[in-house]
Amino acid sequence: MRDVKEKDHISVAKASGYRGFSVYLDVRVSMLDFVGSVPFELQLRTELQDTWAEREHPLIYKNKRLKIAPMVAKQRIRDKVHKLSDLLYDVDCKFDEIREEVLKVIANNKKL
């Protein structure tokens, strides 16, 4: 297995609002009738990023009826979905701050 490429869409979301970290890899496969390299993508997301992606995907990305909606309506919906992604990113960051604070308190209590 060798590392091919990485894409970081955590602090700066994609245009859709998607956030996550992707690693693109190739793995060498030897099976009965196939020997070769198989490319795949490993997506790493927080729980909140995953929840956003799981809800956005069928509602927006895969929704064929939305694709033929008026551009103004689609853009308004995309803006709302992107803002929600930003809010969840802020929540993730706040939880990271709280976790760090808890770890400091625990470390200080051990010194007592």
Whole-angstrom distance, CA of residue 82 vs CA of residue 92 = 15
**Predicted pLDDT of residue 57:** 96
**43, β-bridge pairs:** 22
Range of the domain at 88: 2-111
If one counts every other C-beta atom within 10 angstroms of the C-beta of residue 52, the result is: 23
Provide the domain count of the chain: 1
Higher per-residue confidence, 3 vs 79: 79
Whole-angstrom distance, CA of residue 81 vs CA of residue 107 = 39
The SS3 assignment for 2 reads strand
> What's the whole-model pTM score?
0.81
Amino acid sitting at position 74: K
Write the pLDDT tens digit of every residue in 34-64.
899 889 999 999 999 999 999 999 999 999 9
Whole-angstrom distance, CA of residue 41 vs CA of residue 5 = 9
